[in-house]
Amino acid sequence: MSTLIANKYRLLRLITRIGRSELYQAENVILGKEISLLLLSAGFSAAEESEFLEQTRRIAKVNHPGILNLSDIGGDTKGNRFAILEAATGRLLAEILEERPEVTADIAISIARRAAQALKTASEHSLIHGSLSTSKILVSLDDENVDAVKIFGFGSPVSQEDQLFQAPERMAGSPPDSRSDMFSLAAIIYRMLTGQMPFADTGNTETPPVPLSAYRTDIAPEFEAVIVQALSADPNARPTADDFLLSLERTDSTNTSEKSQIQSSLEKWKTAAIILIGVCVLAAALIYATGGSIKTDPAATAQPVPGSLPVQPINPATGVEEENLAKLPLTTAETNSNTSASADTLPGGDGYNPWANGGVPPPGAPLPPPGQTITINPGQSPFMQDSNCIMQPSGILLCPVPVTPTPTPKTTPTPKAGTTPAANTNTAATPQQPTPSPETKEPRTTPTPSKPAKQNTNRPPAESGTQNGAEGF
């Protein structure tokens, strides 16, 4: 095919027919860009052409990855009217289902989500499809993954093939709305999962269709409930585009395949269990059959190495350690604990005699203090027991100081009468200072004032100085 439209668009391949229009895979020869071209057939009335132009304007306002977006419209001198759309990738869903009547639950849910998102966006722009079917959805598959979903044919007339997917009120002549589009999408999903149309057997949309679980076991109950609700004959009972999409998003696509994976895993375990049981039965039968003939060879038992000796202790057993251990007293939690005793209580006050068993006392036994024991009376200094020192409540230590007696001067004999003594010959000798007692080398503290000691009446002459008496207590 090498038809050239408007001297710039070359038609490459017919994708599908939509009413009296044809969708082609084409190329812009000037830009070298692949596109899709919707060519109107000849004989369109003015009213039909006006309706077509109005519909294309609404489609051009919507830009969504799930919609085959429109970019331009035009005509040529030959009377051709056409619309330019983005390049069509993938294949028609109807063609895919002809090759594989059923698809996996993951593929079906992925297509349903993408298509529901596209229809929701279209309804927000007051754009209703009205004739959705498997012939108006393009799907790009990469093995078992869905790469892209494209919906086209918005506002196109309902073909005979499309009628199988239309809502009952639509077939009755009512105008389409978003709820009728949800019915068509649910019927497409039902067809992908079962290979059957939901009401093909009865043709009565008033009764619920055969449950999806009757055809396959990898369908989640939540997902099946969404499809059944969308296939309701009452438009008011069906979910809107928002509700339908929300229900699909809540359905985890992995849940639908987990059952098949679990079932496959269980089958593997069943097979492994059967094999294991068979091996055990075979082993038991073999043991039973050969039980009387299997004997132990006495010669095969372990024999001692010639010249070897049994294990001997390093030192000979004398029993001393055992005897010392037997003499130790029994220790219990009560006797071992010292938490109940006061801080100033010495150990050993429980009447226990550590020497009762003879020998040396065990480690930790209480021992009397060695050496001489000196008892200090209360109030006395521990350092001056023989000095009769007294410790005052204020902390002052009072110790007695020995009184040094005042030396008595020697008297000069009375001169004979008539004799005049020479000058300075009868002067009393200066008394010698007393040597302090060795006890005075001890540190002395200022005592509390007390009654002064009695003065000695025998004073030396004034010219020989004054000597103070020692303080007493």
Q: Looking at the DSSP assignment, which residues form a beta bridge with residue 38?
A: 23, 83
pLDDT, tens only, 14-49: 999 998 899 999 999 999 999 999 998 877 778 888
Q: Tell me the C-alpha distance between 133 and 355, whole Å.
A: 109
Assess whether pLDDT exceeds 70 at residue 440: no
Q: Which of 82, 13, 85 is nearest to 41 (CA)?
A: 82
Around Cβ 22, how many Cβ atoms within 10 Å?
17
**pLDDT at position 13, please?**
93
**pLDDT at position 452, please?**
47
Q: What is the mean pLDDT of the chain?
A: 76
Q: Sorting pLDDT into bands at 50, 70 and 90, what band is 450?
A: very low
Q: Which of 464, 447, 466, 446 is nearest to 456 (CA)?
A: 466
Which of 283-287, 327-331, 458-462 is predicted least confidently? 458-462
- Best CATH choice for the domain 1-88 from the list 3.30.200.20, 3.40.228.10, 3.40.50.300, 1.10.10.60: 3.30.200.20
333 residue type, one letter: A
Q: Tell me the C-alpha distance between 462 and 473, whole Å.
A: 29
The more confidently predicted of residues 340 and 168 is 168
Highest mean pLDDT, choosing among 122-131, 218-227, 312-321, 399-408: 122-131
**pLDDT at position 301, please?**
56
The more confidently predicted of residues 360 and 278 is 278
Q: Sorting pLDDT into bands at 50, 70 and 90, what band is 400?
A: confident
Assess whether pLDDT exceeds 70 at residue 221: yes
The more confidently predicted of residues 51 and 438 is 51
Phi/psi-derived region of residue 308, left when phi > 0, alpha when psi is between -120 and 50, beta in every other case = beta
Q: Which of 106, 72, 50, 421 is nearest to 253 (CA)?
A: 106
Q: Give the torsion through C-alpha atoms of 320, 322, 323, 325, to 10 deg.
A: 120
Paired tokens of 158: 């309902």
Cα-based distances in Å from 438 to 261, 383, 402, 407, 443: 112, 16, 10, 19, 12
Assess whether pLDDT exceeds 90 at residue 165: yes
Is residue 158 exposed (0-12), middle (13-18) or buried (19+ Cβ within 10 Å)? middle
Assess whether pLDDT exceeds 80 at residue 466: no
146 residue type, one letter: V
Please answer whether residues 123 and 241 qualify as being in contact, where contact means their C-beta atoms are separated by less than 8 angstroms. yes
Percent of the chain topping pLDDT 70: 60
**Secondary structure of the chain in the HEC alphabet?**
CCCEECCCEEEEEEEEEECCEEEEEEEECCCCEEEEEEEECCCCCHHHHHHHHHHHHHHHCCCCCCECCEEEEEECCCCCEEEEECCCCCEEHHHHHHHCCCCCHHHHHHHHHHHHHHHHHHHHCCCCCCCCCHHHEEEEEECCEEEEEEECCCCCCCCCCHHHHCCHHHHCCCCCCHHHHHHHHHHHHHHHHHCCCCCCCCCCCCCCCCCHHHCCCCCCHHHHHHHHHHCCCCHHHCCCHHHHHHHHHHCCHHHHHHHHHHHHHHHHHHHHHHHHHHHHHHHHHHHHHCCCCCCCCHHHCCCCCCCCCCCCCCCCCCCHHHHHHHHCCCCCHHHHCCCCCCCCCCCCCCCCCCCCCCCCCCCCCCCCCCCCCCCCCCCCCCCCHHHCCEECCCCCEECCCCCCCCCCCCCCCCCCCCCCCCCCCCCCCCCCCCCCCHHHHCCCCCCCCCCCCCCCCCCCCHHHCCCCCCCCC
The more confidently predicted of residues 283 and 310 is 283
Assess whether pLDDT exceeds 50 at residue 254: no
Fold of 90-264: Transferase(Phosphotransferase); domain 1 (1.10.510)
pLDDT, tens only, 138-158: 999 988 889 999 999 999 989
The more confidently predicted of residues 95 and 454 is 95
pLDDT, tens only, 79-116: 888 999 999 989 999 999 999 888 898 999 999 999 99
Assess whether pLDDT exceeds 60 at residue 272: yes
Please answer whether residues 62 and 119 qualify as being in contact, where contact means their C-beta atoms are separated by less than 8 angstroms. no
Q: Sorting pLDDT into bands at 50, 70 and 90, what band is 321?
A: confident
Q: Which of 99, 153, 70 is nearest to 165 (CA)?
A: 153
Assess whether pLDDT exceeds 60 at residue 398: yes
Assess whether pLDDT exceeds 80 at residue 178: yes
Domain residues of the chain, as ranges?
1-88, 90-264
| pLDDT (average), residues 466-473 | 42
| pLDDT (average), residues 306-329 | 68
**pLDDT at position 367, please?**
67
The more confidently predicted of residues 380 and 461 is 380
Percent of the chain topping pLDDT 90: 32
**pLDDT at position 248, please?**
83
